[in-house]
Amino acid sequence: MRWQDIGDMTCSVARALSVVGDRWTLLVLRDAFLGVRRFEDFHTDLGTTRHRLADRLRKLVDHGVLERVPYADRPRRFEYRLTEKGRDLYPVVVSLTRWGDRWMAGRDGPPVELVHRGCGRRIMPTLACPECGEPVGARDMQVRPGPALRKEWKARPQRPREELR
């Protein structure tokens, strides 16, 4: 399978990666969550080529993760704002931050702290079960095939196992 075809897989991770699965795209998203909105500010902060940045911004706009909003008429200029779809990626960016802070931070510690606006406390959000409120990790979860995968399996000539690992 070719990289450009992963968006066609019956897999939510693969489909998500087809939109946000490259390092520059994730850094653009990080900056968007930090309040960066204008092309020149993204360019200055990231230091990537203008062509690469324009490509990543265009892709995020095409997929509805960012929207282009005009902020000047002469010359016509746009800024990039997170859509609801884009804001839903916040837990992904926070999870990467948490992992990076634990495993990749240097001697001086993490580069940023997350502060809850409601209480002013420094926090690191965690995944929790919405039903019981208990924190969850990989060992606490079981994965079962969903409707899309069950439909795909029915269409196959041979039946695969009923549960995933």
pLDDT tens digits for range 70-90? 999 999 999 999 999 999 999
Q: Note down pLDDT in tens along the chain; length 165 residues.
A: 777 788 888 889 999 999 999 999 999 999 999 999 999 999 999 999 999 999 999 999 999 999 999 999 999 999 999 999 999 999 999 999 999 999 999 999 999 999 999 999 999 888 999 999 999 999 999 999 899 888 888 888 765 555 555
Query: Do 83 and 90 meet the contact criterion of CB atoms below 8 Å apart?
Result: no
Give 21: exposed, middle or buried? Use CB within 10 Å, 0-12, 13-18, 19+.
Answer: middle
Query: Do 57 and 65 meet the contact criterion of CB atoms below 8 Å apart?
Result: no
> Hey, how many other C-beta atoms are within 10 angstroms of the C-beta on 35?
7
pTM of the model: 0.86
Domains of the chain plus CATH, in order, are 1-88 (1.10.10.10)
Kindly list the distances between the CA atom of residue 65 and the CA atoms of 69, 83, 163, in Å, as whole numbers in the listed order: 13, 6, 32
